[in-house]
Amino acid sequence: MSVLDRVRARPHGPVSVLGRGRARPQAAAGVALTLPVAVFFVVFWLVPFLAAIYLSFTDYEMAGTPNWIGLANYERMFADPGFLNSAWITVVYTVCTVVPTIVLALLVAVPLSKPGRLNRGLRALVMIPAVMPLAATSMVWVIIYSDRGLANTLLGLVGIGPQSWLTSSDLAIWALVVMVVWKSMGLFVIILTAGLQALPGEVYEAAAIDGSGAVTTFTRITLPLLRRTLLFVLVISVAGSMQAFVPAFLLTGGGPADATQVLPYYIWANAFPYEHMGYAAAMGMVLLVAMVIVSALQFGFLKGGDE
């Protein structure tokens, strides 16, 4: 009889029973730990999500019962000037917040990624806007944009008169963009700083030996090696901008003249003040699909770059 056969022939009854006895409490503990999360997921995410899909095919209003109308909400949507205007404003808002935020965050992260006590303190400082509640930040910027606020005070120092930042249809969207860039940049600075600090130093030593300049090193070495981090920042930044609601709600109320009525605000307005829940659910589904497509394109770009 071989060694393997003798091992298999040994009695394992007590050991097996003991193992099963220990496994049962562990399995029960695992179920007990995961059950609250599973219940929370089902009750507060899965059920509302499935309900929204169903309501998007109905004419449901808050005071009535849902009636199945098929694709009527989706057909109405793409003929609705309010929806088309909000979708366009959302595109402009997303591009004008994402691009400056990432560019400025990268420019700040490069020097802050260097070791030193001063840089550690500055990294903590730039995170302050990111950790502030968005509602509180919005209220602070309402004061900054007021007639006698900081923005007009700074303009007065260079001889420019006060501006109606939040009541001008030409300036309101840009006022929101500036606030969101200021609010979001700190988090991305920290993420990009961590990415820069993780880059291999040997590559930069080899580049220095080859006589590579600062600009060449940054464009030919740093940016390609940092591509994964940049795309991660891009994905979360685009997703956040596409579903932004609080700045438009608190600073401008979607105005003036719908100039800051981003799509999430238009969905909310139809869902609650106008009580068109079915139509709002359909617009929410379209926004979700758009976010999924944009994210898939970004991840596709990442995969293509790896090849």
Cα–Cα dist 282/50, whole Å: 12
Same domain, 41 and 165: no
Does the pLDDT value for residue 191 go beyond 70? yes
In a domain? residue 57: yes
Question: Do residues 132 and 254 share a domain?
Answer: yes
Where a domain ends, among 35, 51, 73?
73
Of 56, 73, 90, which marks where a domain is finished?
A: 73
**Does residue 1 fall inside a structural domain?**
no
What pLDDT band is residue 218 in, cutting at 50, 70 and 90? confident
pLDDT attached to residue 289 = 95
Average pLDDT over residues 104-129: 88
Residue 3 lies in a domain: no
Within this chain, do residues 36 and 158 fall inside the same structural domain, yes or no? no
Give the chain's mean pLDDT: 88
Dihedral pair phi/psi, residue 253, rounded to 5°: 60, 30
3-state SS assignment for residue 150: helix
Q: Are residues 253 and 145 in the same domain?
A: yes
Domain that holds residue 225: 77-303
CA 12, distance to chain mean position in Å, is 54
Distance CA 240, CA 291 (A): 10
pLDDT grade for 300, boundaries at 50, 70 and 90: confident
Residue 68, SS3? Answer: strand
23-27, 75-79, 122-126, 201-205 — which is least confidently predicted?
A: 23-27
pLDDT of residue 7: 43
Token look-up 């097996």 returns 16
Same domain, yes or no: 55 and 137:
no
**Number of domains the chain contains:** 2
Cα separations in angstroms, 283 against 23, 84, 235: 48, 11, 21
- Determine the pLDDT at residue 214: 83
What mean pLDDT comes out for the span 189-197?
93
Query: Distances from the Cα of 26 to the Cαs of 32, 37, 139, 146, 292, in angstroms?
Result: 10, 18, 49, 60, 38
Residue 5 lies in a domain: no
| Contact (Cβ atoms closer than 8 angstroms) between residue 113 and residue 197 | yes
Kindly state whether residues 69 and 81 are assigned to the same domain. no
Answer yes or no: is 110 within a domain: yes
On whether both 187 and 229 belong to a single domain, the answer is yes
Write down the pLDDT at residue 50: 94
| CATH number of domain containing 240 | 1.10.3720.10
- Given pLDDT bands bounded at 50, 70 and 90, which one contains residue 11? low
**Residue whose C-alpha is closest to residue 192's, from 299, 96, 103:** 103
Residues 238 and 144 in one domain: yes
- pTM, whole model, 2 decimals? 0.84
Residue 8 domain flag: no
3-class SS of residue 254: coil
- Measured at the CA of 195, the angle between CA 305 and CA 217, to 5 degrees, comes to 70
Contact 123, 112 (CB under 8 A): yes
Higher-pLDDT residue of 285 and 299 is 285
Model confidence over 237-276: pLDDT tens digits? 999 999 999 999 999 999 999 999 999 999 999 999 988 9
Q: Which residues is 58 bridged to in the sheet? A: 68
CA angle 195, 177, 194 (to 5 degrees): 10
In DSSP notation, 248-300 reads IIIIITT-STTTT--HHHHHHHHHTTS--HHHHHHHHHHHHHHHHHHHHHHHH
Structure confidence by residue, pLDDT tens digits, 13-57: 454 544 555 667 777 888 888 888 899 989 999 999 999 999 999
In a domain, 4, yes or no: no
Cβ density class 121-160: b for 16+ within 10 Å, e for less: eebeebeebbeeebeebbebbbebbeeebebbeeeeeeee
Whether residue 281 sits in one domain with residue 183: yes
- What's the maximum distance between 2 C-alpha atoms anywhere in the chain? 100
> Quick one: average pLDDT of 270-292?
94
Residues 121 and 175 in one domain: yes
Closest-CA residue to 119 (of 227, 221, 193): 193
Burial (Cβ within 10 Å: 0-12, 13-18, ≥19) of residue 292: exposed
For residues 91 and 195, membership in a common domain is answered with yes
Question: Within this chain, do residues 67 and 85 fall inside the same structural domain, yes or no?
Answer: no
| Domain boundary, last residue among 73, 94, 120 | 73
pLDDT at 98: 95
The C-alpha atoms of residue 196 and residue 224 are separated, in whole angstroms, by 11
Residue 168 has pLDDT above 80, yes or no: yes
* Separation CA 248–CA 88 (nearest Å): 15
Work out the pLDDT band at 307, boundaries 50, 70, 90.
low
Percent of the chain with pLDDT over 90: 63
> Rounded to whole angstroms, how far apart are CA atoms 285 and 174?
27
Residue 281 within a domain:
yes
